[in-house]
A = this chain, B = another copy of it.
Amino acid sequence: MKSSPDAIERLVTLLSKLPGIGKKSATRMAYHFLDADPSYARLLAEQLLSLHQAIRRCSRCGSFTETDPCPICTDPGRDPSIICVIERPQDIRVIEESREFRGHFHVLGGLIAPLDGVSPDDLTIGKLLSRVRGSGRIKELILALNPTVEGDTTALYLQKQLKELDVEVTRLASGLPVGGDLEYADRLTLSRSFRGRTKMG
């Protein structure tokens, strides 16, 4: 049943393809574009049109960047001897916001997931190995991969591949979230937080 003009329907269809956006939210958005000043839709359209031209992948770490190598890879204030290995370029943002890490990054481009047809060859693991071998001054690789089955599989695989190289491999601690409640922790999280318990004082 058609209850909106075609131009609105087409816009709603495209907007519903965004992550987390259903038909209802997409409809609200579409009408928002109509209610708002036309310059808003135009600005967004221009930004979308220039996006893929402005953004490329950093040839060193694989993150999204406007300049190659990216600002993080060329920042003299950062420590190139520690590399944080992440799944996707967007993981950089949240790690940068934590202000905990001042080394370099390496984007894997996914996690090993045999059921989804993602094998180690689909990721930038080979590139990571030659990066470690080629540099000679990389001391630590921090695996910042999700604590999921795929993250665990990928972490184990990387650990094996890196065994012969003279580099320490660590992984982000997994456990109770800060501000969380023991009562609501799931069994696996609780079990991990027991195994990873730290000495006080």
Contacts and interface: CB of A to CB of B under 8 A. Distances in A.
Given A19-B28, A27-B93, A66-B6, A48 B55 contact: no
A32 interface: yes
A29 interface: yes
Contacts of A48: 11, 33, 41-42, 44-45, 48
A74 interface: no
Q: Which of under 10, 10 to 19, 20 to 34, or 35 or more describes the interface residues of A?
A: 35 or more
Nearest to A90: B31
A5 B54 contact: yes
Nearest to A92: B3
Given A14-B47, A18-B29, A45-B49, 19 more contacts: A1-B96, A3-B92, A3-B97, A4-B93, A5-B64, A5-B70, A6-B54, A7-B51, A7-B55, A8-B64, A11-B51, A14-B43, A15-B44, A19-B28, A20-B25, A20-B28, A31-B89, A41-B48, A42-B49
Contact of A38 (B47, B52, B92): B52
18 contacts: A1-B96, A1-B97, A3-B96, A3-B97, A4-B92, A5-B65, A5-B66, A7-B54, A8-B64, A15-B44, A19-B28, A19-B29, A20-B28, A28-B90, A31-B64, A31-B90, A38-B52, A48-B48
